[in-house]
Chain A
Amino acid sequence: MNSYLLSLAIWVPILGALPILALGSERRDAVRWLSLAVAVAGFLVTLPLYTGFDRAYVGMQFVELMPWIPRFNVQYFLGVDGISVLFILLNAFITVLVVLAGWEVIEEKIAQYMAAFLIMSGLMNGIFAALDAMLFYVFFEASLIPMYIIIGIWGGPNRVYAAFKFFLYTLLGSLLMLVSLLYLFLESGGSFNLLEWHQLRLALQPQVLVFIAFMVAFAVKVPMWPVHTWLPDAHVEAPTGGSVVLAAIMLKLGAYGFVRFSLPILPDASHYLAPMMIALSLIAVVYIGFVALVQADMKKLIAYSSISHMGFVTLGFFIFNQLGIEGALVQMISHGFISAAMFLCVGVMYDRMHSRQIADYGGVVNRMPKFAAFFMLFAMANSGLPATSGFVGEFMVILGAIKFNFWTGFAAAITLILGAAYTLWMYKRVVFGDVANDHVAELQDIGAREFLVLALLAAAVLAMGIYPFPFTDVMHASVDNLLKHVAVSKL
């Protein structure tokens, strides 16, 4: 069964970006429409991945296998299972929204802006689809370049600092991962094939060392406490589109790395170090929740809330039960929608007021009722209200955690209070009350383009909250298989 769908998902956006770059930023309308066309095409080619997905089959689907660097046995090996397929769809979907969100807002070098996002989208699809460790690594590192450029060119006043911090922090982790990949290559007798690595036997000590190297790479990306400090900086300085992609997709790469690499390749080390991972996750969930509470900058608040929500994801992975892992995956998808929506909402206000400080706002609902309604929905979803997607994942992870250990579940559940507190308190200060100042009084409600973007996300958040079955159904067989695999020792 050879298919070209995954290659299309990777290369359509990347190759589509080249004519956009060639057009140049002078011809703005042509650039915008072409970018939209490429992004939509990129989304359409991913749809058959979902419709054609065999839910009962546990192995990899849509497999493509070609030699890439025979000298070192590196293969162009792509495939998806129930764990990764949804992220490719999510990524392609978010890319369309990002193109729409940057439509009028970006005035400077729009061709480069759109091309950077499209190239990044293709590279990130490559990360989710790669089944060869080197191919994964190459996509993983290459995706730093467009993000670095995006933050650096179109970011806020402190963008250079944030761009460097983002790049170097992530590179630190990935270089250590590279060394472990080389080590595993030699241990496995000269193969970078991930599926072969899943069967590789390793003693506990090398497992622990490799786990730690992987953990540095993935924990920086997730980000887990205490290596999270790059994220608030990057989010605050990045343009809206950059924050959206960062929160919705890039953070998921780290978490995805844990399920694709750490758990199946190093099951014994994963069990051995699980208490540490759970502790770090709980610190992220609770402590970072408190940190979010005191933020004065809306983007920073959402950034900390992202870290806190991603703590749920890593918690779900390391309690080793079906509810935990599925809940974590659902949480990843749902957080992709919600955080994207939250950043877009802040972006909508920032485009009008050029301020992200909560104190500069107040009474926005009086001037922007339609916007306030959307924002309300997303704020509720962010705090985990039932019938929104935010509830499903958190609830599953908390259930799983209580099964694992009551107090772990109890600590995780604190987030339901904290999340509601920081999100709704921010919402109240920004949206409700009397019109705070003249700037707010001059606000215009959202236009058709912004309405469309937010409505698409609202539909996704509600659909996933009310009827999550189409999402969990896809991942069920693969998660089951993963758990069985992780339960077997490789010593």
Chain B
Amino acid sequence: MLKNFVMPDLYPAAPELFLAAMACIILLVDALTGSTRRWLAPVLTMLTLIGCALITYATLDGMATLTFSNMFVDDPLSDFLKLLLYFAVITVLIYGRGYLAARNLDKAEYYLLLLFATLGMMVMISAYNFLTLYLGLELLSLSLYAMVAIDRDSSRATEAAMKYFVLGALASGLLLYGMSMIYGATGTLELGRVAQAVHEGVANRTILVFGLVFLVSGIAFKLGVVPFHMWIPDVYHGAPTAVTLLISSAPKLAAFAMVLRLLVSGLFGLVEHWQIMLMLMAVLSIGVGNLAAIAQTNIKRMLGYSAISHMGFMLLALMSGVVGAEIDPIALINAYSSALYYSVSYVLMSLGAFGMVLLLSRSGYEAESLEDFKGLNKRSPWFALVMAVLMFSMAGIPFFVGFFAKFSVLLAAVAAGHIVVVVLAVMFSLIGAFYYLRVVKLMYFDNPVDGAPIQAGFDMRLLMSLNGLAVAAFGLFPDALMMLCTETLVRSL
């Protein structure tokens, strides 16, 4: 039977459409102007992101709207995450500009890939269907593979891209396989209907749980948590630092949205199964990440392992939503909002930390070894202070945002009765404190090996300073951000 085509409501997807259109325009502009106007691409990219932010802000309505035959959702969570996403990508753009220009990598392709990756993340954040989710994820991943390899003459970057691609493809395969099993069991790809089917108990439980295992494995790959973390250190290390900055920040927000949509919106009926999986992965990630980071001499690898442990903490919150058979909505909100708060705080800190690595690099010189931070306090007391704030924050020492992120996660986990897990987690973060302290030690206690002044543009210095101040300010007054995360989730779940 033929059906009439119904024009979907495009309004909720306005930022995505704007971004896609602008990406095509930038592609054309670059093709037409060639290499004569290289400043055009970054400026247009920046304007595009600002435009997206304005559109998202203007269309804030605090309600959930489904469109494109229920494949796409526009709710407070997606708006909140998208606004943070634009902010993170703009920061990536500003931090990375000087670094890329010095290495002759600031071609229009980079900016286009950045925009497409952003589009992928936006689609992931707003996905309400397994296929949309997968579409967004692949758009993000493929853009990232190419960006890692953008310095095509670097064998290390190429190797990293290859490894990222192969493992990423495997993870996508796992994810798809899991989705197909769940489709087989429930007969639908739409998250809401999957949830309903699972809830009603009509679906075959065995197949569902099998599918869930594959789904969780795929998610774990993308989040980079143990035991699916092997790509993280190599990719973080091999990619140009400006790209590492992107990989380590914005996609964590999209991945959070993916976890929340898949596991909470879709498969909440299987919560007792996935909570156990997340618990194992959380403890292992916090342990392995912190232990392995100690042995690193390269700061990008070190921050890579630290990212693994931070994602473990995020999972710790996600696995604390439900205790026993009773579902307590307050506990649920507490757990998931602390996971969101943790992700947001982590992105803020990660942007700052990799930003510092970029700040210290200059043409022909990568400041990626830990040794390069030696004596920073003598070279630039202000930026040494900023980095120290970031490191103490990552280690979870008050008064910085990282402490309150850990605090809210641990509180949720203790409330769920996981005292043993919490004690393990804090003991591993004690071990973790060591390598963050080592960075502070290098900056403050040692003498500089090279006294060259820091070469960075004014915009970068300003943003870097603001980044450090934000980490401190959100630590002194943590309530606003916590409340924002909580309210967003209350209105979206």
Using a CB–CB cutoff of 8 Å, the interface residues on chain A facing chain B are: 21, 24, 68-72, 109, 112, 134, 137-139, 141-142, 144-145, 148-149, 152-153, 159-160, 163-164, 167-168, 171-172, 175-176, 178-179, 182-183, 185-186
Contacts and interface: CB of A to CB of B under 8 A. Distances in A.
A182 B418 CA distance: 12
15 contacts: A69-B478, A69-B479, A69-B482, A70-B479, A71-B483, A112-B377, A148-B440, A160-B441, A163-B445, A168-B433, A171-B433, A178-B426, A179-B419, A179-B426, A182-B407
Contact of A175 (B414, B427, B482, B486): B427
Interface stretch (B127-135, B213-221, B391-399): B391-399
A448 B430 CA distance: 45
A72 B410 CA distance: 12
B460 interface: no
Contacts of B441: 152, 160, 163-164
Contact of B415 (A24, A69, A186): A186
Contacts of A182: 407, 410-411, 414, 422
B381 interface: yes
Contacts of B265: none
B244 interface: no
Residue from the set A149, A159, A185 with the largest chain B CB neighbour count within 10 Å: A149
Interface of B: 377, 381, 392, 397-399, 403-404, 407-408, 410-411, 414-415, 419, 422-423, 426-427, 429-430, 433-434, 437, 440-441, 444-445, 478-479, 482-483, 486
A134 B411 CA distance: 12
Given A141-B397, A142-B397, A175 B403 contact: no
A171 B415 CA distance: 23
Given A70-B479, A152-B441, A163-B441, A142 B398 contact: yes
Nearest to A25: B381
A138 B398 contact: yes
B373 to A, nearest CB: 14
Given A71-B483, A149-B444, A167 B433 contact: yes
B486 A71 contact: yes
A68 B476 CA distance: 9
A24 B479 CA distance: 33
Contacts of B430: 168, 171-172, 175
A110 to B, nearest CB: 13
A71 B419 CA distance: 22
Given A141-B398, A142-B398, A186-B415, A153 B444 contact: yes
A145 B426 contact: no
Given A69-B482, A168-B430, A171-B430, 16 more contacts: A21-B381, A69-B478, A138-B398, A142-B399, A144-B397, A145-B392, A148-B440, A153-B444, A160-B445, A167-B437, A168-B433, A175-B426, A178-B407, A178-B410, A183-B419, A185-B411
Contacts of A109: 377
A336 B55 CA distance: 62
Contacts of A134: 407
Contacts of A68: 479
Given A112-B381, A142-B398, A167-B437, A179 B445 contact: no
B418 to A, nearest CB: 11
A70 B486 CA distance: 12
A183 B423 CA distance: 12
Contacts, number: 90
B317 to A, nearest CB: 13
A182 B399 CA distance: 18
A453 B400 CA distance: 36
A457 to B, nearest CB: 30
A145 B407 CA distance: 18
A138 B475 CA distance: 10
Q: Is the interface of B mostly helix, strand, loop or mixed?
A: helix
A71 B422 contact: no
A72 B411 contact: yes
Given A68-B479, A152-B444, A171-B430, A179 B398 contact: no
Contacts of B404: 69
Contacts of A159: 445
Q: What 9 pairs between A and B have smallest CB-CB spacing?
A: A138-B398, A175-B426, A71-B482, A152-B445, A182-B414, A69-B479, A142-B398, A182-B411, A141-B398
Contacts of B482: 69, 71-72
A71 B405 CA distance: 13
Contacts of B479: 68-71
B267 to A, nearest CB: 28
Contacts of A69: 404, 478-479, 482
Contacts of B433: 167-168, 171
A168 B434 contact: yes
B430 to A, nearest CB: 6
Contacts of A178: 407, 410, 426
A176 B423 CA distance: 7
Given A69-B478, A69-B479, A153-B445, A148 B437 contact: yes
Nearest to B434: A168
Contacts of A71: 478-479, 482-483, 486
B442 to A, nearest CB: 10
Contacts of A172: 430
A148 B397 CA distance: 13
A137 B440 CA distance: 22
Contacts of B398: 137-139, 141-142
Contacts of B427: 175
A69 B445 CA distance: 35
Contacts of B486: 71
A172 B433 CA distance: 10
B191 to A, nearest CB: 28
B411 A175 contact: no
Nearest to A135: B398
A138 B399 contact: yes
Contacts of A168: 430, 433-434, 437
Contacts of B483: 70-71
A432 B143 CA distance: 78
Nearest to A213: B423
Nearest to B483: A71
Contact of B408 (A72, A163, A179): A72
A179 B444 contact: no
Contacts of B410: 178-179, 182
A164 B397 contact: no
A183 B486 CA distance: 21
A172 B407 CA distance: 16
A223 to B, nearest CB: 17
B437 A164 contact: yes
A231 B412 CA distance: 35
Given A176-B426, A179-B414, A183-B419, A145 B478 contact: no
A299 to B, nearest CB: 20
Nearest to A68: B479
B403 A138 contact: yes
A71 B397 CA distance: 20
A179 B426 CA distance: 8
Contact of B429 (A21, A163, A175): A175
A168 B395 CA distance: 11
A226 to B, nearest CB: 19
Contact of A179 (B399, B423, B440): B423
Contacts of A185: 411
Contacts of B423: 176, 179
A153 B446 CA distance: 8
Contacts of A186: 411, 414-415
B434 A164 contact: yes
A182 B416 CA distance: 12
A183 B422 CA distance: 11
Contacts of A148: 437, 440
Contacts of B440: 148-149, 152
A72 B333 CA distance: 13
Q: Which of B377, B430, B478 has the most A CB atoms < 10 Å from its CB? A: B430
Nearest to A155: B445
Contacts of A183: 414, 419
